[in-house]
Amino acid sequence: MSLNCQTLLHNHPQAWQSATIHPFLEQCKLGTILPSQFNTWLVQDYLFVVEFTRMAARLLASAPAQHFDIILAGLAALKDELNWFRAKASERQLNLATPPQPACRQYCQFMEQLSTLPYAVQATAFWSIESAYNQGWRLPGPMPEPYCEFADRWGNSGFTEYVQLLEQQADEALSLAEDRIQEQAETTFLGVAKLEQAFWQMAFTAV
């Protein structure tokens, strides 16, 4: 079995589309998203990023030394991102000490369970999560205030380049993995796509 990140995207276009194209994002572009919807996303995404940071740390613990630089750069960016989320929540007078909703809790549990899997699977998951956000916020195009700041954070060219570096590292790990591990990576990729779609839907249906 020969597997890489582009093969995953090619083999599962519908799953990936559901992860990266959603009415929530389209309504952000149109400026018609409701404050309750966007605020739900912001709080729940903060909770997600807290656990994603833990996932990044576990990824570093599993990674070969030659992959450290890119993962460490991601961890440094996550520190800034968490502080940025806190600032945005303060501006909107939102309480971040909020229980995770089911879609968020399920995603966080999924990330925690990845720590038991081989590095190639973890690297594929890490790339797919970051790539989904990059494409999700970039594909709609320019967004109006106040959403342009959010779209630019994950849709900018620098973040796109970072995702490409993660893809290279995942591909390298997959190229050395046996078929059983590549199959786990593919299943995990599909899990990420499903959880991404559910996360957007959670925010979109907020009242």
User: Does pLDDT of 198 surpass 70?
Assistant: yes
Residues above pLDDT 90, as percent of the chain: 98
Residue in this structure with the two tokens 């190229």, named with its chain if needed = 175
3-class SS letters over 98-157: CCCCHHHHHHHHHHHHHHHCCHHHHHHHHHHHHHHHHHHHHCCCCCCCCCHHHHHHHHCH
pLDDT tens-digit map of 108-164: 999 999 999 999 999 999 999 999 999 999 999 899 999 999 999 999 999 999 999
DSSP string, 158-202: HHHHHHHHHHHHHHHHHHTS-HHHHHHHHHHHHHHHHHHHHHHHH
**CA pair distance 69, 83, nearest whole angstrom:** 22
Angle, in degrees to the nearest 10, between helices 13-20 and 119-138: 60
Question: What mean pLDDT comes out for the span 48-71?
Answer: 98
Q: Which two tokens stand for residue 137?
A: 């916020």
- Looking at 7-86, which runs of residues are DSSP E strands? none
Distance of alpha carbon 98 from alpha carbon 163, whole angstroms: 30
Distance set, CA 163 to CA 37, 71, 205 (Å)? 27, 11, 29
Q: Residue 149 corresponds to which tokens in the numbers above?
A: 């700041």
- Mean pLDDT over residues 164-184, rounded? 98
Q: Is 96 in contact with 45 (CB distance < 8 Å)?
A: no
Nearest to 112 by CA among 44, 50, 42: 50
d(CA 102, CA 40) in angstroms, rounded, equals 13
More confident residue, 1 or 101: 101
Mean pLDDT of 76-97: 97
pLDDT (average), residues 75-86 = 97
What is the DSSP-derived secondary structure letter of residue 94? -
Nearest Cα residue to 59 out of 135, 4, 9, 128: 128
pTM higher than 0.95, yes or no? yes
Domain architecture of the chain: domains with CATH? 14-204 (1.20.910.10)
- Nearest partner of 130 among 15, 52, 51, judged by Cα: 52
